[in-house]
Protein backbone atom coordinates (compact mmCIF):
# COMPACT_ATOMS: atom_id res chain seq x y z
CA UNK A 1 0.00 0.00 0.00
CA UNK A 2 1.83 3.04 -1.25
CA UNK A 3 -1.03 5.50 -1.68
CA UNK A 4 -1.11 8.50 0.60
CA UNK A 5 -4.58 9.07 2.01
CA UNK A 6 -6.03 11.87 4.08
CA UNK A 7 -7.83 11.42 7.37
CA UNK A 8 -11.30 11.43 5.83
CA UNK A 9 -10.38 8.66 3.38
CA UNK A 10 -8.85 6.64 6.22
CA UNK A 11 -12.07 6.97 8.26
CA UNK A 12 -14.13 5.86 5.26
CA UNK A 13 -11.92 2.80 4.81
CA UNK A 14 -12.24 1.94 8.50
CA UNK A 15 -16.04 2.34 8.34
CA UNK A 16 -16.25 0.08 5.28
CA UNK A 17 -14.08 -2.53 7.03
CA UNK A 18 -16.25 -2.31 10.15
CA UNK A 19 -19.45 -2.71 8.13
CA UNK A 20 -17.97 -5.70 6.29
CA UNK A 21 -16.92 -7.36 9.57
CA UNK A 22 -20.40 -6.78 11.02
CA UNK A 23 -22.00 -8.37 7.93
CA UNK A 24 -19.71 -11.39 8.11
CA UNK A 25 -20.34 -11.76 11.85
CA UNK A 26 -24.11 -11.72 11.26
CA UNK A 27 -23.79 -14.16 8.36
CA UNK A 28 -21.90 -16.73 10.42
CA UNK A 29 -24.33 -16.35 13.31
CA UNK A 30 -27.34 -16.81 10.99
CA UNK A 31 -25.88 -19.77 9.10
CA UNK A 32 -24.82 -21.42 12.33
CA UNK A 33 -28.31 -21.06 13.77
CA UNK A 34 -30.00 -22.27 10.57
CA UNK A 35 -28.00 -25.47 10.28
CA UNK A 36 -27.92 -26.00 14.02
CA UNK A 37 -24.16 -26.00 14.09
CA UNK A 38 -23.53 -23.15 16.49
CA UNK A 39 -21.26 -25.57 18.34
CA UNK A 40 -19.25 -26.28 15.18
CA UNK A 41 -15.73 -24.96 15.68
CA UNK A 42 -15.42 -23.29 12.26
CA UNK A 43 -18.63 -21.32 12.71
CA UNK A 44 -17.72 -20.37 16.26
CA UNK A 45 -14.21 -19.25 15.34
CA UNK A 46 -15.41 -17.15 12.40
CA UNK A 47 -18.23 -15.60 14.42
CA UNK A 48 -15.91 -14.63 17.26
CA UNK A 49 -13.15 -13.41 14.93
CA UNK A 50 -15.43 -11.12 12.93
CA UNK A 51 -17.01 -9.89 16.15
CA UNK A 52 -13.60 -9.01 17.56
CA UNK A 53 -12.63 -7.13 14.40
CA UNK A 54 -15.92 -5.23 14.48
CA UNK A 55 -15.47 -4.30 18.14
CA UNK A 56 -11.92 -3.04 17.57
CA UNK A 57 -13.01 -0.93 14.60
CA UNK A 58 -15.98 0.40 16.61
CA UNK A 59 -13.52 1.53 19.27
CA UNK A 60 -11.25 3.15 16.66
CA UNK A 61 -14.22 5.08 15.27
CA UNK A 62 -15.74 5.99 18.65
CA UNK A 63 -13.11 5.78 21.41
CA UNK A 64 -14.36 5.18 24.93
CA UNK A 65 -18.02 4.73 23.99
CA UNK A 66 -18.14 0.95 24.11
CA UNK A 67 -18.52 -1.14 27.24
CA UNK A 68 -16.05 -4.03 27.29
CA UNK A 69 -18.57 -6.18 29.17
CA UNK A 70 -21.24 -6.15 26.44
The DSSP 8-state label assigned to residue 63 in this structure reads T
**CA 59 to CA 37: how far, in whole Å?**
30
pLDDT at 4: 82
- Please tell me the distance from the alpha carbon of residue 47 to that of residue 7, in angstroms, as a whole number: 30
| pLDDT > 60? residue 37 | no
Q: What is the pLDDT of residue 36?
A: 65
Per-residue pLDDT tens over the stretch 7-34: 999 999 999 999 999 999 998 888 777 6
Domain extent listing, the chain: 25-62
CA 50 from chain centre, in angstroms, equals 4
pTM above 0.75, yes or no: no
Q: Give residue 47's pLDDT band: very low, low, confident or very high (50, 70, 90).
A: confident
Confidence check: pLDDT of 70 > 60? no
Query: Percentage of the chain surpassing pLDDT 90?
Result: 40
CA dihedral (62, 15, 38, 43) positive or negative: negative
Amino acid sequence: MTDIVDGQELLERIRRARDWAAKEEAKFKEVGEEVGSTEDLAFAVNYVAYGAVREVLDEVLQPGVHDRNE
